[in-house]
């Protein structure tokens, strides 16, 4: 087991019974492991010429800016409804019980930019699938790939990402 895997704590029955939550608090508090995490993502994308990293609220905000800095790229926030102060494009998506949405500022990207989408966890692919749809529908950019710290492969979230390159550092 790698140091990265060891720094991810399993918490049973959180936030509700039957859920095995992947807690990244230990990873974030260990400067060596956190640096290794960002370095692994950076090395994976070293030759991709990424202009912008997009992080999904909230834990995509932890890894996205650090990776953007390491790649010499900008960072863009994909936020929950009502959190961005300017005009937005919005994409709704289904949850187990109800719906949610992600929003991006209408001027989030320049035409032709190469963007990388990022979140901490790939489960069913609902939120990332919504972000992919939002970006493809409203912006003239190239999605270079999608990155996750953790992938729960048994939930088959990759299938919702429409053939995009996926980088996940830890798989369960």
pLDDT, tens digit, for every residue of 119-163?
999 999 999 999 999 999 999 999 999 999 999 999 999 999 988
Cα 21 to Cα 3, 10, 121, 149, 169: the distances in Å are 18, 6, 11, 14, 17
Ramachandran region, residue 164 (left: φ > 0; alpha: ψ -120 to 50; beta: rest): beta
The active-site residue out of 96, 137, 151, 160 is 96
pLDDT at residue 89, as a whole number: 98
Identify the three-state secondary structure at position 118: strand
Catalytic residue among 57, 59, 114, 142: 59
Q: Which has more pLDDT, 2 or 38?
A: 38
State the pLDDT confidence band at 171, using cuts at 50, 70 and 90: very high
**Which residue in this structure is represented by tokens 């929003």?**
103
Residue-wise pLDDT for 64-117, tens only, equals 999 999 999 999 999 999 999 999 999 999 887 789 999 999 999 999 999 999
151 an active-site residue?
no
30 pLDDT more than 90: yes
- Would you kindly state where each structural domain of the chain is located, as residue ranges? 47-171
Whether residue 59 lies in the annotated active site: yes
Domain 47-171 in CATH 3.40.630.10? The answer is no
């Amino acid at each position: 087991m790698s140091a990265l895997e060891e720094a991810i704590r399993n918490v049973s029955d959180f936030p509700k019974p039957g859920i095995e939550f992947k807690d990244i608090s230990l990873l974030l508090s260990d400067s060596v492991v956190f640096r290794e995490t960002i370095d692994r993502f950076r090395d994976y994308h070293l030759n991709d010429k990424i202009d912008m990293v997009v992080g999904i609220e909230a834990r995509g905000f932890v890894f996205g800016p650090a990776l953007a800095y390491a790649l010499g790229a900008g960072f863009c926030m994909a936020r929950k409804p009502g959190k961005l102060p300017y005009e937005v494009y919005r994409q709704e998506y289904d949850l187990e019980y109800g719906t949610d949405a992600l929003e991006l500022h209408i001027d989030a990207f320049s035409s032709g930019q190469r963007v990388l989408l990022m979140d901490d966890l790939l489960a069913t692919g609902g939120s990332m699938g919504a972000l992919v749809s939002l970006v493809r529908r409203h912006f003239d950019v190239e999605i270079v790939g999608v990155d996750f710290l953790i992938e729960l492969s048994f939930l088959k979230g990759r299938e919702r990402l429409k053939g995009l390159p996926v980088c996940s550092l830890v798989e369960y």
